[in-house]
Structure 1
Amino acid sequence: MTDLTAGEWLEGNRANWDERVPVHVASEFYDRARLRDGGSVLDPIAAAGVARLFPDGLEGVRVLHLQCHFGSDTLSLVNAGATAVGLDFSRPAVEEARRMAEELGVADRARFVEANLYDARHRLPEPESFDFVFTTWGTIGWLPDVAEWARIIAWFLKPGGRLYFADGHPAAFVFDGDGGPDGMPTFSFPYSSAEVVEFEDPGDYADPEARLANAKTFEWTHPVSEVLRALRDAGLVVEEFEERFQVPFRIFPVVVEQGDGMYGWPAEPWLPLSYEIVARRDAPGR
């Protein structure tokens, strides 16, 4: 493991995400018109996943949304009837989430907490209190320890409760840029490594014109086997595992728009770009 301290990676990443908040709020990428109309801004993959788990709707469901950014997905679940707690380490993000909850008139059903994910049990000391843990897109890559992430999820889930997780596929994250043949991405990073990857990139995925002053970030690659093992070791039962050839963001310059905010390969589905996991905390005696 790297000798990078928690303070270094956490504060560096937090400064980067704090700066992103106003950029994202102003961007078309995070358009919240449907949210303001009482609807949802969930991407098609996550929306379908939630619908599979709750075919009768979210009324009465208590949700914990980890790494919620400024809460648009959290509030989408609330608009669908859930009561939710969103947690994020960025103060500007949490402040914007709270402001938006007030604007939508759902602050009584949407609570937002500013905290590092690894401090969640101290900031939300409510074990076995959630029916559903939701966490999607750009989450565990910012975390060095997915075993602890999984234990936190298990700690908060009620017996019988479920996790829904979707993220970029680590097989895709070995690539970068468009320097290969026909503009394809090139091999740049190992698939499996405990070492932190340090990036210096002032750009932002939501606004190509943005230039961030806090450009240095620290990220980790977690192979699928590591994630599945972490969930199993935390006592969760994996019910669904699916690989997808789409993502709700431009993962590489070569990918093309496929409608409804989704992107995919321009020709052959060369390798999966994202994956989903549904895991259950078993009730006693099962």
Structure 2
Amino acid sequence: MTIDLRGGDWLDDNRSNWDERVPVHLASDFYDQEPLRRGQGVLDPIARAGIDRLHPNGLEGIRVLHLQCHFGSDSLSLANLGASVVGLDFSRPAVEEARRMATEIGVAPRARFIEANVYDARHVLPEPESFDLVFTTWGTIGWLPDVPEWARIIAWYLKPGGRLYFADGHPSAYVFDGADGPGGMPTFQYPYANPQPDILDDPSDYADPEVELQNCRTWEWMHPLDEVLGSLRAAGLTVDEFTEHYQVPWQIFPIAEPQGEGMFGWPAERWLPLSYEVVASAPGRNG
């Protein structure tokens, strides 16, 4: 199947799905905006620890590009920490809400939001080597058909010595779905390495179990670890950190249990990783 990165059914279907999710998410308890209004943040524990590790002296003076930012909750969290942030997302309702919220909490001068498909980023934000940090987390590359191009876009934007912070669900967990096995265990549903998209009709939403989406067709891709890490290296970046985790900031399977701070994990043993994070750097970093 040939995929046009800048348009086509895959992009239209996914964008319609995410446009519809925006009001659902804003009305849900899953996306609590109150900490942002108090000048705080809503970063999950994994991402917050990663940012603290990369910038132990804070984010004052740090310029961040947040790819696939949804309606900007994490972007605004970084702005509340002192960063100057550009958020990019393909959903117009999401970008409009991000801009509105930036104005409401008083960080609009340091938080700019752009509506665009990530593959069009260089056309709408022609600022090569201008960011200290590219940030992208949770539910991002699974919607993208071409990870090598994603990696090249990241490398294009990073300053010499700039770094990528990336966290997402682990592909070894994404081979499972449902709760049909003994004890409610998810069962094997998808191959680990499949270059073709899974075209799904699923009206459910992770933030509100009661909702039934009308725009329920999505196109999703599995990206094995070697593809992601290899693409970053091929784009000229150095992979500095790779860490697997046994938690995610949403209930990935019905059997997953709350583990505090909005995180979910296996009920007992660490059966397999549920997420991973990567830090990669552009050439030129000192130290």
- What is the match of residue 27 of structure 1? 28
Write the distance in 1 (CA, Å) between the matches of 2:107 and 2:211: 31
Kindly indicate whether the alpha-carbon contact (under 8 Å) linking 2:3 and 2:145 is maintained by their aligned counterparts in 1: no
- What is the match of residue 264 of structure 1? 265
Kindly indicate whether the alpha-carbon contact (under 8 Å) linking 2:19 and 2:93 is maintained by their aligned counterparts in 1: yes
Within a 5 Å distance, the mapping from 1:145-224 to structure 2 comes to 145-224=146-225
Secondary structure of 1:160 counterpart: strand
Give 1:225's aligned amino acid.
D
- Evaluate the alpha carbon distance shift between residue 285 and residue 73 of structure 1 in structure 2; reply closer, same or farther with a 3 A threshold: closer
Kindly indicate whether the alpha-carbon contact (under 8 Å) linking 2:162 and 2:285 is maintained by their aligned counterparts in 1: no
Write the distance in 1 (CA, Å) between the matches of 2:124 and 2:8: 19
CA displacement at 1:54 relative to structure 2: 0.2
Write the distance in 1 (CA, Å) between the matches of 2:16 and 2:184: 32
- What is the match of residue 92 of structure 1? 93
The CA deviation string for residues 146-192 of structure 1, in whole angstroms up to 9 with x for no partner, is 00000000000000000000000000000000111111000000000
CA displacement at 1:267 relative to structure 2: 1.0
Unmatched 5+ stretches in structure 1? none
Secondary structure of 2:269 counterpart: coil
Write the distance in 1 (CA, Å) between the matches of 2:46 and 2:272: 17
CA displacement at 1:3 relative to structure 2: 4.0
TM-score when normalising by structure 2: 0.98
Within a 5 Å distance, the mapping from 1:47-86 to structure 2 comes to 47-86=48-87
Write the distance in 1 (CA, Å) between the matches of 2:250 and 2:159: 32
The CA deviation string for residues 238-280 of structure 1, in whole angstroms up to 9 with x for no partner, is 0000000000001001100000100000111100000000000
Kindly indicate whether the alpha-carbon contact (under 8 Å) linking 2:44 and 2:249 is maintained by their aligned counterparts in 1: yes
Secondary structure of 2:268 counterpart: coil
Write the distance in 2 (CA, Å) between the matches of 1:188 and 1:255: 17
- Evaluate the alpha carbon distance shift between residue 27 and residue 284 of structure 1 in structure 2; reply closer, same or farther with a 3 A threshold: closer
Q: CA RMSD in A?
A: 1.2
- Evaluate the alpha carbon distance shift between residue 186 and residue 54 of structure 1 in structure 2; reply closer, same or farther with a 3 A threshold: same
CA displacement at 1:283 relative to structure 2: 1.3
The CA deviation string for residues 13-61 of structure 1, in whole angstroms up to 9 with x for no partner, is 0000000000001110001111110001000000000000000000000
Write the distance in 2 (CA, Å) between the matches of 1:3 and 1:266: 41
TM-score when normalising by structure 1: 0.98
Q: Does 1:283 align with 2:271?
A: no
The CA deviation string for residues 210-242 of structure 1, in whole angstroms up to 9 with x for no partner, is 111000000000000000000000000000000
Give 1:67's aligned amino acid.
Q
The CA deviation string for residues 54-73 of structure 1, in whole angstroms up to 9 with x for no partner, is 00000000000000000000
- What is the match of residue 118 of structure 1? 119
- What is the match of residue 47 of structure 2? 46
Write the distance in 2 (CA, Å) between the matches of 1:279 and 1:99: 32
Kindly indicate whether the alpha-carbon contact (under 8 Å) linking 2:248 and 2:265 is maintained by their aligned counterparts in 1: yes
- What is the match of residue 241 of structure 2? 240
Write the distance in 2 (CA, Å) between the matches of 1:83 and 1:190: 40
Write the distance in 2 (CA, Å) between the matches of 1:201 and 1:31: 24
Write the distance in 2 (CA, Å) between the matches of 1:18 and 1:170: 25
- What is the match of residue 106 of structure 1? 107
Write the distance in 2 (CA, Å) between the matches of 1:187 and 1:284: 42
CA displacement at 1:4 relative to structure 2: 5.5
- Evaluate the alpha carbon distance shift between residue 284 and residue 57 of structure 1 in structure 2; reply closer, same or farther with a 3 A threshold: closer
Write the distance in 2 (CA, Å) between the matches of 1:70 and 1:52: 25
- What is the match of residue 228 of structure 2? 227
Write the distance in 1 (CA, Å) between the matches of 2:183 and 2:35: 37
